[in-house]
A and B are shown apart, each in its own frame.
Chain A
Amino acid sequence: AQSVTQLDSHVSVSEGTPVLLRCNYSSSYSPSLFWYVQHPNKGLQLLLKYTSAATLVKGINGFEAEFKKSETSFHLTKPSAHMSDAAEYFCVVIKQSGGSYIPTFGRGTSLIVHP
């Protein structure tokens, strides 16, 4: 079965320092993986996705993620945090259910950015 584990419920960084949000996945086949961001009381927005093309995926707002099959990881990084990056981040893997594709969300990581 497909699943994702977000290893940290909260990550706290100072503005201008690097960001690392960790995600490990479990999948019986080559997965599609996504990162979404949610600002307070808002819907979710796609940051980036991996769909078996390049293993280093660049997204919006300077974020990127690297698909590492040997480590079953898809960690999200950014070289320099900005105050506006403070939000909830979700790692998602797609599972197949019959003929449908069902997103499975991690529990989320809250990114806190200090001035």
Chain B
Amino acid sequence: SQTIHQWPATLVQPVGSPLSLECTVEGTSNPNLYWYRQAAGRGLQLLFYSVGIGQISSEVPQNLSASRPQDRQFILSSKKLLLSDSGFYLCACGGLAGTDTQYFGPGTRLTVL
């Protein structure tokens, strides 16, 4: 089965600084990849998804961007962080069918001060 790696596990960054969060996947090829943000006490918000290398779809307009340079690598970035970017960021992978399970990484806790 799939294994999702995320790093770093925790991150504290000042407002206006750049961001790069990395997600890598093992145990599958050509997966759908997803970035979610979970704010304190709230549900998961889908930020980006990717169906293949270089293919990124954004669900909500925001200060963040995503890239998929390799089949099993998904990167979340920002040029200038905002206070509102704080949250728990989860990477997930799933198959290509609507019945497929999503597998989640352990998450990155981002605090913007």
The answer on a CB contact under 8 Å between A100 and B51 is yes
The answer on a CB contact under 8 Å between A49 and B99 is yes
A20 within 8 A of B: no
The answer on a CB contact under 8 Å between A43 and B105 is yes
How many B residues touch A, CB cutoff 8 Å? 29
Compute how far the CA of A105 lies from the CA of B37 in the bound complex, rounded to whole angstroms: 12
Chain B residues packing against A (C-beta within 8 Å) = 4, 32, 34, 36, 42-44, 46, 49, 51, 57, 59, 88, 90, 92, 94, 96-107, 109
How many A residues touch B, CB cutoff 8 Å? 26
Q: A residues within 8 A CB of B109?
A: 41
Q: A residues within 8 A CB of B105?
A: 43
Q: Provide 25 A-B residue pairs closer than 8 Å at the C-beta atoms, listed in order of the A residue.
A: A32-B98, A34-B101, A41-B88, A41-B107, A42-B106, A43-B4, A43-B104, A43-B106, A43-B107, A44-B44, A44-B90, A46-B101, A49-B101, A90-B44, A92-B102, A94-B99, A97-B57, A100-B49, A100-B51, A101-B96, A102-B59, A103-B34, A103-B102, A105-B46, A107-B43
The answer on a CB contact under 8 Å between B43 and A105 is yes
* Smallest Cβ-Cβ distance to A50: which chain B residue: B99
Compute how far the CA of A108 lies from the CA of B96 in the bound complex, rounded to whole angstroms: 25
A101 with B98, Cβ < 8 A, contacts A90-B43, A90-B44, A107-B43 known? yes
Fill in one digit per residue for A5-29: 1 if any B CB lies within 8 Å of its CB, else 0.
0000000000000000000000000
Closest CB-CB distance, B109 to chain A, in whole Å?
7
A102 with B42, Cβ < 8 A, contacts A44-B90, A45-B104 known? no
A96 within 8 A of B: yes
Q: Nearest 3 CB-CB pairs, A to B?
A: A43-B104, A107-B43, A101-B98
A51 within 8 A of B: yes
Q: B residues within 8 A CB of A32?
A: 98-99
The answer on a CB contact under 8 Å between B49 and A107 is no
Closest CB-CB distance, A87 to chain B, in whole Å?
13
Compute how far the CA of A99 lies from the CA of B104 in the bound complex, rounded to whole angstroms: 22
